[in-house]
Structure 1
Amino acid sequence: MVVDSKLGFFILVDAGDNDVHKIREELLKIDEIKLVHCLIGPTDLICYGEADNIDAMREVITQKASELIEAKFNPISHTQTCLSLQCHGQQLTAEKHGHPTKTAAWIFADINIASALDISERLLSKNPEIICAHTVLGAQDTIFYVEADSLQRLMAVVDDGVRILRGIGNEGKSVKALSRTDTRLVLMP
């Protein structure tokens, strides 16, 4: 299933020496931001938001989020924005995904073959733990959100599903479908 009702976007935040939980609380005050997860990894937070149009998204990124962060916290080390071009699977909502009750992770991946749609659909159909796959415009090609009953099951999805998936490359040969995968665990009290 493809979800395309609003313009989705991600903001990745390197919090520097700030309290990530306080930043999370402040970012959730912005209406367009649907969820914020604290991560273990090179970025400290991932925000998912939806805007009615590009101007509304621009306002969130350049004004609402940046002014809020700059006014209340020490300098943030870095932020990165990714535009969601298409979402496959479930739509992310604050009610259902805002505070995971299972072991959760975000997987960032680059695609090694031509058909991102095929890869996302294949992974979603074989791994019910993968909640959604966003094809993005940004540093990565795809962002997956995964919730599993245990860390062992989460690692099985990553190792036996995501990392070994094969596809047909541009020379007609079987190749690893995803390259440069980066799994970031959600760490929230």
Structure 2
Amino acid sequence: MSFVELPSVASWRHEGARAGFEVAFFSVNDRGPRVEGTTTATEDGRSWVVDYVIQLDGSWLTRSARIAGRGAGSTVVTVIETDGRGHWQVDGVAAPHLQGCLDLDLEASAMTNTFPVHRLHLPVERPVAAPAAYIRAVGLAADRLVQTYSRSGEGHYDYTAPAFDFSCRLVYDQHGLILDYPGIATRIQ
């Protein structure tokens, strides 16, 4: 599936698992797409804010990110770097548990599910593994997330994350941005 140019801004309302909001701003520089955003939510009685700046290369591979999380009176900042071939550093330290991951997935964000569908150019009905460096909303811990995507039709992708016993059908727009992430978020702009 081919996508049209990203808009300058998009917004999502968190729903189901948490209540909140996400806004992301898109631009392209000489390295590739760049996304700057903020997501705020209350989940399980805990409120948090996550700010992010993510740099991708021209193939939609994550190359770097600066993530700041605030909650319960403290702020944590994490810097992520990767070579685009599956080698990661978190705050300047090698992260071998993320070896082979090509995408960054923020627990706080519906937007980061944009990256694999742009990068993979999936054929219809063929599941593809897309393990990701998964950054938790509270505390910003970096874990490996096993996940798969399978394009089921125009703008529709079946998504699974076995660690969470979660699967759903994601709906994307012509830009390759999520419109509907069942139980997580809905695009409002």
- When the two structures are superposed, what TM-score results if normalisation uses the length of structure 1? 0.28
Q: Which has the higher contact order (CA 8 A, sep 6+)?
A: 1
Larger Rg: 1
Greater helix share, structure number: 1
